[in-house]
Amino acid sequence: MLALALGGANAVPAQSAPSALTPITGWGTNPTNLDLQAYVPSKLAAKPAIILALHYCGGSGPAYSQMTKYNSLADSKGFVVLYPGQKKDNNCWDVATTKTLTRDGGGDSTGLANIIKWAITKYNADPTKVFVTGSSSGCMMSNVMAATYPDLVAAVSCYSGVAAGCLAGSPGSSPQSADPTCANGKNVKTAAQWTATVKAMYPSYNGTYPRFLTWHGEADNFVHYANLAEQLKEWSGVLEVTFTKNNTNTPQSGYTQLVYGDGTKLVGYSARGVGHTVPVHEDADLKWFGI
């Protein structure tokens, strides 16, 4: 279900990081023993933005930093990039257990939230400019973070994942351990049902949820393309927006932009001929984040 995203015809070429990442320890309560590395540019903006970048299954924070251009963009724009790492279940983020699918439940989501809180203080960051992104397993976890910690996350842009709660109750979150129903695109719910799933993760929350952008390849049979529709149903319900229009060949030939509402809260991208995973579109991410 969760691909080793560096493999295959749609792999993203490795990028040269401008400089080494900094290993971070002592950032707070860490119930699932995550590790953390950060990229902090030499010229940090006043009240910088933070991007939490979540690796694919089988990956690591440093590996994800090498396959994206976020570090070089951080050099020019002065934001901080956080690269946490999960070492269990084939290095896949837990998106299945009650602990991680519950606000302050003691799962991976709790550890990631503590990383965000630590970083806001450490870097004197703008708490209204915290963003989450990721590929494959990292996109799945991005969905979960938007559901469990919506007050910490302003916006998400992620690639080739599944809706928050899609894997709930699965024995694991990796290709080797998971119930394949979700990855195969067969966990189908209505927008109302998905909304109830999200709201159950943080029942007392009455605030706004993150703006959501999600990308998926039409030729993805590993995390099936049908999961794009389920994500869009989920977040259209949560964000209370309905489908408006398609924009073809946007942002490039073969991609279709699916716009909900006025396009400021929810957008999807469908990539014709693209498998697992959709290449990272860093410039589009930063535009969505407002950086």
pLDDT in tens, 39-70: 999 999 999 999 999 999 999 999 999 999 99
Catalytic site residue from 136, 160, 170, 236: 136
pLDDT in tens, 69-96: 999 999 999 999 999 999 999 999 999 9
pLDDT in tens, 109-135: 999 999 999 999 999 999 999 999 999
Phi, psi at 261, each rounded to 5°: 60, -135
136 as an active site residue: the answer is yes
Burial code (b: 16+ CB inside 10 Å, e: under 16) for 194-232 equals bbebbeebbeebeeebbbbbbbbbbebebbbbbbbbbbb
Using DSSP, state whether 188 is helix, strand or coil.
Answer: coil
What percentage of residues in the chain have a pLDDT greater than 90?
93
pLDDT, position 19:
58
The DSSP-derived string for 209-251 is --EEEEEEETT-TTTTTHHHHHHHHHHHHHHT--EEEEEET-S
Given a contact cutoff of 8 angstroms between Cβ atoms, the answer to whether 158 and 133 are in contact is yes
pLDDT, position 163:
98
Residues 288/40/144/174 CA torsion (nearest 10 deg): 120
The mean per-residue pLDDT over the stretch 194-205 comes to 98
Report whether pLDDT(5) > 70.
no
pLDDT in tens, 218-232: 999 999 999 999 999
pLDDT, position 10:
36
